[in-house]
Amino acid sequence: MKESLLDILCCPLDKHDLELEDAEYDDDEVVGGDLVCTECGEAFPIEDGIPNLLPPDMREETPA
């Protein structure tokens, strides 16, 4: 993901801002790390460059 995507995203649970932590970069792409909610502290992982912003209980690879 581009770092500028952070300006468009928010925490899916409480809609507060997210902060990028432990970022790994490949050129100007963020390919790993966590997006952490500044309010509730929930961490959303960046997996292979794609932020996974599903609530924790929906995060698994299998459908529903």
Partner 1 sequence: MGLEERRDVETDVYQPAEDSALLAEAACERLDESDLVLEVGTGSGYVAGKIADETNARVIASDINPHAVRQARGDGVETARADLVAPFRDGEFDAVAFNPPYLPTDPENEWDDWMEHALSGGEDGRAVIDPFLETVGRVLAPEGVVYLLVSSLTGVDAVVERAGEAGFSAVAVADESFPFETLTVLELHQ
Q: Which stretches of the chain bind partner 1, using CB under 8 A?
A: 1-2, 5, 7-12, 15, 44, 47-55, 58, 61, 63-64
Tokens 């997210």 map to which residue?
Answer: 18
In a 3-state reduction of DSSP, which class is residue 38?
coil
Nearer to partner 1, 22 or 50 (CB): 50
Nearer to partner 1, 22 or 59 (CB): 59
Instruction: Determine the Cα angle at 45 with ends 2 and 4, to 5°.
Output: 20
For the record, the structure tokens of 11 come out as: 């925490």
CB of 21 to partner 1, least distance (A): 16
Cβ 18 vs Cβ 4: under 8 Å: no
CB of 49 to partner 1, least distance (A): 6
